[in-house]
Amino acid sequence: MANLVLFIAILICAIQSVRSKKLILSSIWLAGVSALLSILFFQMGAHQVAVIELSVGAGLVTVLLVFAIGVAGEESIVAPVIIPRVLTFGLVIAFMLLLGWYSFPQSTMKSLPPEPPLSTVLWEQRGLDVITQMILIFAGVLGLLGLLAEVKPPLERPMAEEFIAKRQEGLAELVRESDDSTHGIHLPRGQEGMKETDASKGVS
């Protein structure tokens, strides 16, 4: 009965993630799907799969989606409807029913032997899988940061912009001086005479 309730909750979250018009809400609904699915896996005895689904599906993927949406922003996408909605929902429901039918344990199955504790399974039997999962999470975070980073290093770009700004200021000053000289701006006669005497003194 508990598995059936989890299955219905997973189906509702999946439908809401598809129907939601905002990306941030869709990512939250998907996180709910992953969390409920990990609980279902744990109830069915797949403890390792439940831990991986909870950490990657509800953890890493959700954080990366929310971070990317927060940086890039949401854009409304209007796409034409190709497949009718009735057919789409019918196929999804049929697939989920078949998946639940083949996933739930049958009454004719024999009782499984007792399993070791979860800590023993994770760090002794599945230690390599746990380390690989940590590496994947670290690589995913670094990859997203690399995609969202600037094209140039952060220390080189401001220096280049400052150099270009100073060069443009120098060119603008030269253009201003040339415009003043071409417009016939002359000094008064008294100042011209003083400059001529200063030049003659310098020559002598």
Cβ atoms within 10 Å, residue 102: 8
In this structure, are 142 and 165 located in the same domain? Answer: no
Domain hosting residue 124, numbered range: 2-74+86-105+118-148
Number of domains in the chain: 2
In this structure, are 27 and 7 located in the same domain? Answer: yes
Q: Are 28 and 16 in contact (CB under 8 A)?
A: no
Supply the Cα-derived Rg of the chain in whole angstroms: 35
**Residue 141 lies inside a defined structural domain of this protein:** yes
In this structure, are 30 and 68 located in the same domain? Answer: yes
In this structure, are 98 and 32 located in the same domain? Answer: yes
* Confidence at residue 107, expressed as pLDDT on a 0 to 100 scale: 55
Q: What is the CATH number of the domain that holds 34?
A: 1.20.120.1200
pTM exceeds 0.75 for this model: no
In this structure, are 28 and 6 located in the same domain? Answer: yes
Kindly tell me the burial class for residue 122, based on how many C-beta atoms sit within 10 Å of its own C-beta (0-12, 13-18, 19 or more): middle
**Residue 140 lies inside a defined structural domain of this protein:** yes
Question: How do residues 133-168 score in pLDDT, each as one tens digit?
Answer: 778 777 777 777 776 665 444 444 555 566 677 778
In this structure, are 43 and 27 located in the same domain? Answer: yes
